[in-house]
Structure 1
């Protein structure tokens, strides 16, 4: 394209009525001309004065455009000679295909790609294919979601305003390894009383939540290819973290007493075991004391690291929260992880780990090296929130509210189905599992209920292998009391259609009438 055509091409595309500045339009047009080859490498551009006159714009505008093109490598300016289009074409030699290796052995040993070039990796594709994340995160009967409308936002706002007013510059930089010390001290006191966790403030490492805590543990304590025990079934999110880190997962079934490894499992010790002993997720059972002691002794003998995920264990109904597994650990093999997302609000994104004393320095260095933690202001607000007693009172109040909603939902189940469908794991947490008859497809029920405006999760998606039970994870925490009955009536219609059919539904309706 010669300079005359360049003027015409630019003039046809400049929109002087647009809200976009002429400078940006001209810069974009000239960049486009170079990248598409319309302005060939070596082409001399008109002087800034000439281009400004022909386009009817200020010369300073053109000068700024030329300066920016030069800074980004589109043109080369030579004093006394002018401005020329730079050669930005890809290096043909670098892109030329390389000849095959001459050494047959080298060719044979070369790694073979198992995925299309430019496509996703095998583990990346598996992560996406097996993802359990939902497009909706709120409403009846989304499991595992607290009622954020009940959070004491005014109290939090007051504490936050007070801290911002003091303008402590130390709270605006990266977090020190392990996190804000007053928060670690507050959490240490809280966990000792509420969860019987044995720890000092130095043993606590602040993270953004359970996922990051597990990811950091895996990176520091395992290598690609190591085996990890996971409960069967288990939370899909942590399973995804472990799989994407290159670990080989060994699903271990759970029964009424929790994790129940068989002889084959015990013969092949894992590097890591991830358990939810105080409230198994998703089925809700509690690991018995005998199983806890057995697991700890096995871990001590075989140098197995245990990650204890203390999932929403503060919310127990009818009994006090149970003591942690970590509180029984004398060998320093348990990494205790927790989060305040379910206790306060999910968007807080603050979790914590309690690590053995001999691993403190490694974990504090690891979290700072890998994630460059911040959010010190939020951590400071949370520390004040805990130390002023607001966390304890909020948990107490929400336990009563969630217990009330749990009972309303159980009553709705009984009203519609009598004892035909079992309720499992309702003693604690923010959900229970509503069992379905044998042969009923819980994934199909989930999809149909979603279309009807009700969210549940299929129990089948929490199994690594073939599910041994069918059911729906049914949450009640974020559903206002008055909406529980009508919402479950909608869900009940879907269940009836899939689980019983018209004839059986009519007969059952007559029996319960």
Structure 2
């Protein structure tokens, strides 16, 4: 070699990597010109006092990356096809990359860039009252495995799906189920299978909302829905919620701008747990028909009611096409199944199916087939009955423990249904201090504040009870009461 190579045997960087970088740098800076012949691996190894394997590794990498080429019977040469701009460029050092113009984003991208919202952190404590998850250990996994094995034997589930609305037998099973369990009026032709509630909401925004349109939402309400609506440029009109649900009279007052859509969780309002009363349901339907507005009914966990008769879906009361019904299997089965559904007016079905196809083509056909049999063979409703009994026991244990340990210091909301309830506290602690003091005694709690549109210390907590056992609930509430009211 007619130039020195600097190798450091004491460096943590392997010798073959050092040799590769030295040779590459020499080629890029022009010290080794195109068609320059390199020594054989044996000769260079002897010259540098290193193993031939080390040289061979370096040469092989440079050959694979196009810096070197071999000529049969002649040797190894610097490649003659290197671009001129590379031959005389200085080696690029970390952090020396040239600055580039910012990438122009759409209005949707601008919203996400400016918002940079974070998912609400979930507590990770020995006793955690987080909400939204069913009791995984009570799911009938052997039944699911058997159905999965049954459908896995064939190969036709591996192909593209041909029905843009989703697997037809599953849509038939869902139409029968919601008609029987929720009094929803629909046919299989009105059902579109979605990738959970999130995609259902996103599809409706794409099809019904133009940036600047107004959406009326419950306040407090489902945080993810708020974010989806804002990301599509909608204006949000917060409507207060009381023990009878959405205060519909607020909508009937003169408003400077028309309300295009109302998003509501009428059967078990999230997060307060209130049930929209029948008079208000009828008032809301009459208002929507008069104003030619749409209603998005999110029926996320209405299967679980305790002591009261099941409340029919709002969609079943409608005499017009004002209500779009959203359902999901995340709460009654498991979230990673990622199967939800829309029940749509006939006029929206085709365009929604097209939008769904453009979004993700189709959901996994195997999962849809397994779920179909799970419903048709009665496993779904059997599982719901068992879980309703289990959740009811936990609910009663939670309510009893709260009343024993907190007494008049709290108001319990929404304890007649669902998988969570909300508690309003009388306390001088801030919301942040409530969480901190709970963590100190190994209890994880979640605030209701993020679900409000206006910031404030409201001293309201959401207690999920679906994942816990009765003893954990009792111990957790006792610890929490001692941490928050040590002199009580």
TM-score by length of 1: 0.79
State the alpha-carbon separation in 2 of the partners of residues 378 and 137 from structure 1: 33
Structure 2 CA distance for partners of 1:288 and 1:15, relative to 1, 3 Å: same
State the alpha-carbon separation in 2 of the partners of residues 333 and 374 from structure 1: 27
Residues 20-60 of structure 1: per-residue CA shift (max 9 Å, x gap): xx8xx699x55x975x7873378437668835863524999
Structure 2 CA distance for partners of 1:156 and 1:170, relative to 1, 3 Å: closer
Structure 2 CA distance for partners of 1:134 and 1:140, relative to 1, 3 Å: closer
Q: 1:209 and 2:234 equivalent?
A: no
Summarize the alignment of residues 53-202 of structure 1 with structure 2, pairs less than 5 Å apart: 54=44, 56-57=52-53, 65=61, 68-70=64-66, 83-84=79-80, 85-86=82-83, 87=85, 121=110, 123-128=112-117, 131-134=119-122, 136=124, 140-164=128-152, 166-173=153-160, 176-202=163-189
**CA contact 1:443–1:460 (8 Å) conserved in 2:** no
**CA contact 2:419–2:465 (8 Å) conserved in 1:** yes
Alignment RMSD (CA, Å): 3.6
Displacement, 1:272? 1.9
State the alpha-carbon separation in 2 of the partners of residues 450 and 154 from structure 1: 37
Q: Which of 247, 254, 262 is the matching residue for 2:234?
A: 247
331-340 or 298-307, which deviates more? 298-307
Summarize the alignment of residues 430-469 of structure 1 with structure 2, pairs less than 5 Å apart: 430-437=419-426, 439-466=428-455, 469=458
State the alpha-carbon separation in 2 of the partners of residues 45 and 57 from structure 1: 24
Unmatched runs of 5 consecutive residues or more in structure 2: 46-51, 91-97
Question: In the alignment, which residue of structure 2 is the partner of 1:369?
Answer: 358
167-176 or 268-277, which deviates more? 167-176
Displacement, 1:323? 0.7
Residues 365-416 of structure 1: per-residue CA shift (max 9 Å, x gap): 1111012333211111111111110000000010011001110111111221
State the alpha-carbon separation in 1 of the partners of residues 378 and 229 from structure 2: 36
Structure 2 CA distance for partners of 1:225 and 1:14, relative to 1, 3 Å: same
Displacement, 1:268? 2.6
326-335 or 390-399, which deviates more? 326-335
Residues 329-348 of structure 1: per-residue CA shift (max 9 Å, x gap): 23322221121111011222
Paired residues, what number? 461
Unmatched runs of 5 consecutive residues or more in structure 1: 17-21, 99-111, 498-504, 509-513
Q: 1:233 and 2:223 equivalent?
A: no
Question: In the alignment, which residue of structure 1 is the partner of 2:314?
Answer: 325
State the alpha-carbon separation in 2 of the partners of residues 486 and 6 from structure 1: 70
Q: Which of 258, 271, 286 is the matching residue for 2:260?
A: 271
Displacement, 1:225? 2.3
Displacement, 1:321? 2.2
Classify the secondary structure of the residue corresponding to 1:422.
Answer: strand
235-244 or 443-452, which deviates more? 443-452
State the alpha-carbon separation in 2 of the partners of residues 373 and 52 from structure 1: 58
Q: 1:259 and 2:255 equivalent?
A: no
**CA contact 1:438–1:470 (8 Å) conserved in 2:** yes
State the alpha-carbon separation in 2 of the partners of residues 338 and 224 from structure 1: 26
State the alpha-carbon separation in 1 of the partners of residues 445 and 270 from structure 2: 15
State the alpha-carbon separation in 2 of the partners of residues 321 and 354 from structure 1: 19
Displacement, 1:96? 9.7
State the alpha-carbon separation in 1 of the partners of residues 140 and 255 from structure 2: 47
Classify the secondary structure of the residue corresponding to 1:403.
Answer: helix
Classify the secondary structure of the residue corresponding to 1:395.
Answer: helix
Question: In the alignment, which residue of structure 2 is the partner of 1:417?
Answer: 406
Question: In the alignment, which residue of structure 2 is the partner of 1:295?
Answer: 284
State the alpha-carbon separation in 2 of the partners of residues 125 and 50 from structure 1: 57
State the alpha-carbon separation in 2 of the partners of residues 248 and 75 from structure 1: 61
Residues 153-180 of structure 1: per-residue CA shift (max 9 Å, x gap): 111011101111x223234535741222
**CA contact 2:191–2:341 (8 Å) conserved in 1:** yes
State the alpha-carbon separation in 1 of the partners of residues 166 and 2 from structure 2: 60
Structure 2 CA distance for partners of 1:26 and 1:380, relative to 1, 3 Å: farther
